[in-house]
Chains A and B, each alone.
Chain A
Amino acid sequence: MTRLNLALLVGVLLAVCLSVASGKVWVPLDAWTAVDPRSIIIVELRLPRTVMALLVGAALGLSGAVMQGYLRNPLADPGLFGVSSGAALGAVVSLYFGYAAQIWLLPTFALVGAAGTMALLALIAGRSGSLILFTLAGMILTSIAGSLTALAISLAPTPFVSSQIVTWLLGALTDRSWDDVKVALPIIVIGAGLLATTARSLDALTLGEQAARSMGVDPGRLQWVVIAGIALTVGAAVASAGVIGFVGLIVPHMVRPFAGNRPSAVLLPSALGGALLLTLADSLVRLAPTVSELRLGIAMSMLGGPFFLYLLIRMRRRLA
């Protein structure tokens, strides 16, 4: 384990402590025992919420790093390239039809949405590795998924359903329970496991597809592993927390100066960094002095938008 991963792990542990302690009711460390009535806040509210933040953050960070490596595109991100929107559309469809009462249905729809978008993305622009083609395809898929989502909101059978959809879309980890963890945990673990197996192929792809194939990479198999892994991680993340953008974009860029630019070297730090970023952000939105709690998805977009702009400006010369 490298020093970077160790440092990130320490950061994650500190963020977990902050996340468990902070909120409307500040629970001091000595009240964490079962005797204190406030411990129920910890066990039934804060802990599952913290675990969800870790899981969703790690899923988004890792999937961003894999997408950037696979597409050889430093601007790739499940949110920007439509995969999150596809997952959200799937989830919204399940809300629209009132399926969300069953705990497994919304995640299933979200997974199908994420897999469908990722597969379309790979089909449209997969082999070329062209930055422009991929970015355009991702933008188009995002807007199509967005318009279908808007359609579902406008046609919602009752105002309750439409407000349920809108609230869910904004992205948050409020009031997550251990039941949510039970659904998300296995899916994200399987997805992350799949993505971890792509490490070497992603390294080989640094030299382009021809060279990678001559080094023993099976491009067809790799494509399906990436699609399945991204669909599972992003689908489960979106199903758990709504659309939380930019984590997959920001985190790999933040760890790259320390981990080196080799795609496989970025994977684990991105997962840890994503968990750290989201747990921290989710603690801070609880502490923000707003009337109702600041939505995590909105907070991340406000952070991520300017960062994306900064990246684009820095890359301007290379893209032109």
Chain B
Amino acid sequence: MSVLAADRIGLTLGGNRVLDDVSYAFRRGRVTALLGPNGAGKSTLLSCLAALRVPDQGAASLDGVDVQAIERRARARAIGLLPQAADVHWDIDVATLVALGRLPHRGRWGATAADDAAVARALAATDMTALAGRGVERLSGGERGRALLARVLAGEPDWLLADEPLASLDPAHQIDVLDRLRSVAAAGGGVVLVLHDLHLAARIADDAVLMRGGRVVAAGPADDVLTAPLIAETYGVAVEIGVTPAGQRFILPIGR
């Protein structure tokens, strides 16, 4: 069982304690939401897990090996990251963009049939097959967001880390993407998401990590963590938690 773990991670950036003694073992086959107010350290924790930042203390580890110690391409095959910044610097078409996700798998002689098949699956999963030939500069914000998600999916990593993957999407595509991420977890992948929206977190997350001021307030199964008192402690807002007739939990902020 592969485990991605934060072990007593501490990090000071520009004099601020951005992460302080953060420990959590993320599990595969589950969607874990990193939640907390702005500046809680969620994105920084994600970049430590993706080995983009080196913590001052502690370490992020994959199956007990420090992520910094894993060979770059092997790590890229194991851990896929969808950063928040949605830069695409050249006007390439969607298929070319998605194929970039296969770079960590590429042999010396270019794309193989397996690469092409993975790209086709990723395009289909994000509902982008029809737009495969379109240049990214002619995509809407939501289409671009889905294309970038497809890029990460094409790499078929064991772990998919995403920073605000729903930010630019309309509700229909938010739900599509959530379902897609759910099915990654259902297929045995690990999914770690930085989310702002408590309601969407309640909808998708199996587990949740609530953070505030660089520390973990509470972590564990989402139903145990996303409670009114813990949310009040983390965000400083009062929420109403309910269940729809269909059995779907929802969280509604109602006041400070």
Q: Report whether A210 and B100 are in contact in the complex, using a CB–CB cutoff of 8 Å.
A: no
Known A203-B103, A262-B96; judge A213-B88 contact (CB<8 A). Answer: no
Q: Report whether B85 and A208 are in contact in the complex, using a CB–CB cutoff of 8 Å.
A: yes
Within the complex, the shortest CB–CB distance from B80 to chain A, in Å, comes to: 7
Instruction: Give every chain B residue within 8 A of A214 (Cβ-Cβ).
Output: 50, 52, 76, 79-81, 83
A159-213: which residues lie under 8 A (CB-CB) from chain B? 200, 203-208, 210-211, 213
Residues of A in contact with B, size category: 20 to 34
A216 close to B (CB within 8 Å): yes
Q: Report whether A205 and B89 are in contact in the complex, using a CB–CB cutoff of 8 Å.
A: yes
Partner of A211, one of B73, B83, B106: B83
Within the complex, the shortest CB–CB distance from B20 to chain A, in Å, comes to: 23
Closest residue to B102 on the A side, CB-wise?
Answer: A215
Within the complex, the shortest CB–CB distance from A73 to chain B, in Å, comes to: 8
Instruction: Give every chain A residue within 8 A of B97 (Cβ-Cβ).
Output: 206-207
Q: Report whether B88 and A206 are in contact in the complex, using a CB–CB cutoff of 8 Å.
A: yes
Partner of B92, one of A204, A213, A260: A260
Known A200-B103, A260-B96; judge A208-B75 contact (CB<8 A). Answer: no
What is the interface size of chain B, counting residues whose CB is below 8 A from a CB of the partner? 31
B42 close to A (CB within 8 Å): no
A263 close to B (CB within 8 Å): yes
Instruction: Give every chain B residue within 8 A of A216 (Cβ-Cβ).
Output: 72-73, 75-76, 103-104
Known A207-B151, A213-B52, A214-B50; judge A200-B76 contact (CB<8 A). Answer: no
Q: Report whether B100 and A215 are in contact in the complex, using a CB–CB cutoff of 8 Å.
A: yes
B91 close to A (CB within 8 Å): yes
Instruction: Give every chain A residue within 8 A of B73 (Cβ-Cβ).
Output: 216
Q: Report whether A262 and B85 are in contact in the complex, using a CB–CB cutoff of 8 Å.
A: no
CA distance A210 to B90 in the complex (A): 16
Closest residue to A256 on the B side, CB-wise?
Answer: B90
Partner of B87, one of A208, A260, A262: A208
Provide a sorted-by-A list of 23 A–B residue pairs whose CB atoms are within 8 angstroms: A72-B89, A72-B90, A129-B89, A200-B103, A203-B103, A207-B83, A207-B97, A208-B89, A211-B81, A211-B82, A211-B87, A213-B52, A214-B50, A214-B81, A215-B103, A215-B155, A216-B76, A216-B103, A216-B104, A260-B93, A261-B91, A261-B92, A262-B90
The 4 closest A-B pairs by CB, nearest first: A216-B76, A214-B81, A72-B89, A208-B87
B residues in contact (CB < 8 Å) with A: 47, 50, 52, 72-73, 75-76, 79-83, 85, 87-93, 96-97, 100-101, 103-104, 106, 135, 148, 151, 155
